[in-house]
Amino acid sequence: MAGAIASRMSFSSLKRKQPKTFTVRIVTMDAEMEFNCEMKWKGKDLFDLVCRTLGLRETWFFGLQYTIKDTVAWLKMDKKVLDHDVSKEEPVTFHFLAKFYPENAEEELVQESTQHLFFLQVKKQILEEKIYCPPEASVLLASYAVQAKYGDYDPSLHKLGFLAQEELLPKRVINLYQMTPEMWEERITAWYAGHRGRARDEAEMEYLKIAQDLEMYGVNYFAIRNKKGTELLLGVDALGLHIYDPENRLTPKISFPWNEIRNISYSDKEFTIKPLDKKIDVFKFNSSKLRVNKLILQLCIGNHDLFMRRRKADSLEVQQMKAQAREEKARKQMERQRLAREKQMREEAERTRDELERRLLQMKEEATMANEALMRSEETADLLAEKAQITEEEAKLLAQKAAEAEQEMQRIKATAIRTEEEKRLMEQKVLEAEVLALKMAEESERRAKEADQLKQDLQEAREAERRAKQKLLEIATKPTYPPVNPIPAPMPPDIPSFNLIGDSLSFDFKDTDMKRLSMEIEKEKVEYMEKSKHLQEQLNELKTEIEALKLKERETALDILHNENSDRGGTSSKHNTIKKSSPRQKTYLHLSPQSRLFPGTLSVVMVLPSVILTHA
């Protein structure tokens, strides 16, 4: 008996351990996951598992999307997963995407993970041109995307070409201007450099704040026909329902805000919108497929619920989430500030280290130069000592020569004195000889006169004349003392003059004192000044810069419509555009006793009794 019970328990436990499961692949914007699901799981079971895995708490924005014959569908929460019209081949693939969009991303998106998923999805839609974005806004959005991925701009790391492999701009924008990839990168980098100090979540939120003002942001378009058979587009978004011309998805022809709609219903392929104001005609249209009507109604229900929730006080769960988000944001802000201070201190320490290394290298060079100068000084000192010794010897030699010269001068002076006395005596003798010669000349003249007188007596006194001539001849030939020319005394040899000019070596060496390095720590980071009120001016400035390079012939219909709206000032506010196109603005709701579409609200009656009977 006990063995039978144990056998049954073992069999039942084995049965529990081997439930029937199937494999599901979940594709998010940046990852893929696979789960084993039980056959009985409903859509909510799978959706909750995915949200828990992603750590996502703001689940009301998201859904699991799949495709049926080229038509998009969303997994219903209250229906079994395998009861949907999905592929039976495993793994069954679903895309985890944002199904509903917030009116104000900054106020409604609390979790950083939620912001990141919205950022990735909106960025993809803009690049794939599912959301029209003007060129100037595309460049600004690209700069925030780069900030979110690469962090603060660093010229040493982010050199020209670092964005070459990045997809940042729609192809339509690139083809619209005669600009090279380098020119686009230069303009994106110029904006990117101005986002310094923004963390990834802050850059992504700035991206969403700009993107949410684009005309096609968050709008789901469906092809419809009115009663006359005119082809139109129905747009469903967070603000209401909008009717567009197929050629103009930017500006709706008419809009029905959620607070002005009394009833929405469909019967087969016919869809009916009843405004709250009974004076306004009921709008009816036909869609191509019944499945499309179901999807439209599903989106209307979800967007209306969120529209009403935004206008009520936050639930306790949302308040707790926002409080936790604020605490987490403050903690991250403090952590970023701490990291910024550490980074600044590290950079300052590195700069100080580099400066000290530079000073050390400079001092080493100066020490090397000083050593070389010292060696040159020592060599010069040795040369000067040797030269001083030689000079001393030369001085001794010159002193000896000077003494000899002095002795020679004394001898010459003594000789000169003797010569002077002899000269004076000789001059006296010459003077006496001259006097004697003068006297003899006078005597000769007198004798000549006497001779003339005696010519007559020449014959008689020839003998006497002969004796007189002989005597005169004797007188004339008598030796006399010629003038004595003193022999000049030989001059002493030139005394060589020796001028000693001492060479002097001057080496001016300045000791390089270490200066105290003081760096003022920058306590506050650069505050980002691009506030929302200046954003349009910045976009206009960028538009002006690149307008000259635009190729007009490549403008698309949406470009032309956007430019016309800009000229009319129609793109200043997406909400203003919807208000202008609204048939009448109401701030109250009407309660219908037949409401089954929005239970528990004071909003609108969505399904008529006939609809419930038809589609029960």
pLDDT at 237 over 90: yes
> CA nearest 46: which of 35, 32, 61?
35
CA distances from 141 to 112, 168, 189, 200, 213 (A): 19, 8, 12, 14, 12
- pLDDT above 90 coverage of the chain, percent: 36
Q: Could you report the per-residue pLDDT of 302-339, keeping only the tens digit for each? A: 999 999 998 888 888 888 888 888 888 888 888 878 88
The pLDDT of residue 532: 54
What backbone torsions phi and psi does residue 133 show, to the nearest 5 degrees? -135, 125
Note the pLDDT of residue 43. 93
List the single range of 53-57, 211-215, 285-289, 356-360 with lowest mean pLDDT: 285-289
Predicted model pTM: 0.62
pLDDT at 533: 55
pLDDT for the residue 222? 93
Q: What is the pLDDT of residue 602?
A: 31
- Which 3 state secondary structure label does DSSP give 517? coil
DSSP secondary structure string for all residues of 185-225? HHHHHHHHGGGTT--HHHHHHHHHHHHTTSTTTTPEEEEEE
pLDDT at 534: 65
Residue 44 labelled as part of a binding site: no
More confident residue, 249 or 586: 249
Mean pLDDT of all residues in 217-239: 92
Structure tokens, 459? 């014959």
What does the pLDDT read at residue 391? Answer: 87
* pLDDT at 583 (0 to 100): 54
156: confidence class by pLDDT, cuts 50, 70, 90: confident
Higher pLDDT pick, 576 / 364: 364
Q: Is 401 annotated as a binding residue?
A: no
- Looking at the chain, the whole-number percentage of residues with pLDDT higher than 70 is 78
35 backbone dihedrals φ, ψ, rounded to 5°: -130, 150
The pLDDT tens digits for 437-451 are 788 778 777 777 776
pLDDT at position 195, please? Answer: 92
455 is in an annotated binding site: no
For 270-284, 452-466, 471-485, 509-523, which range has the lowest pLDDT when averaged over its residues?
509-523
Amino acid at site 172: R
Tell me the average pLDDT across 555-560: 82
Q: Would you say residue 258 has pLDDT above 90?
A: yes
Label residues 487-507 b or e (16+ Cβ within 10 Å = b). eeeeeeeeeeeeeeeeeeeee
Residue 77 known to bind ligand = yes
Closest among 174, 170, 139, 184 to 538, alpha carbons compared: 139
Name the band, by pLDDT with cuts 50, 70 and 90, for residue 550. confident
DSSP label of 507: -
**Helices 462-476 and 316-453, axial angle in degrees (round to 10):** 160
pLDDT digits (tens, 9 = 90+) for 7-29: 555 445 544 554 588 999 999 99
pLDDT value for 315:
81
- Angle formed by the axes of helices 135-150 and 200-211, nearest 10°: 160
Q: Mapping DSSP to helix (H, G, I), strand (E, B) and coil, where does residue 66 land?
A: strand
The answer to the question of whether 514 is labelled as a binding residue is no
Q: What is the CATH number of domain 13-99?
A: 3.10.20.90
Model confidence at 271, pLDDT cuts 50, 70, 90, reads: confident
Give the range among 122-126, 173-177, 527-531, 594-598 with minimum mean pLDDT: 594-598
Query: What's the pLDDT tens digit per position in 98-148?
Result: 999 999 999 999 999 999 999 999 999 999 999 999 999 999 999 999 999
Answer yes or no: is pLDDT of 502 > 50.
Answer: no
State mean pLDDT over 510-527.
45
pLDDT value of position 398:
87
What one-letter code names the amino acid at 23?
Answer: T
Task: Give the confidence band of 5 by pLDDT, cuts at 50, 70, 90.
Answer: very low
Q: What tokens were used for 415?
A: 């000789």
Residue type, 512: T
Amino acid identity of 391? T
pLDDT at 493 over 80: no
Across 250-279, average pLDDT:
88
> What pLDDT is attached to residue 413?
84
pLDDT at 503 over 50: no
Confidence check: pLDDT of 587 > 60: no
When mean pLDDT is compared across 321-330, 385-394, 453-462, 538-547, the lowest value belongs to: 453-462
Taking all residues of the chain, what is their mean pLDDT, rounded to a whole number? 79
Cα angle 394, 397, 400 (rounded to 5 degrees) comes to: 150
pLDDT band at 465 (very low <50, low <70, confident <90, very high): low
pLDDT band at 344 (very low <50, low <70, confident <90, very high): confident
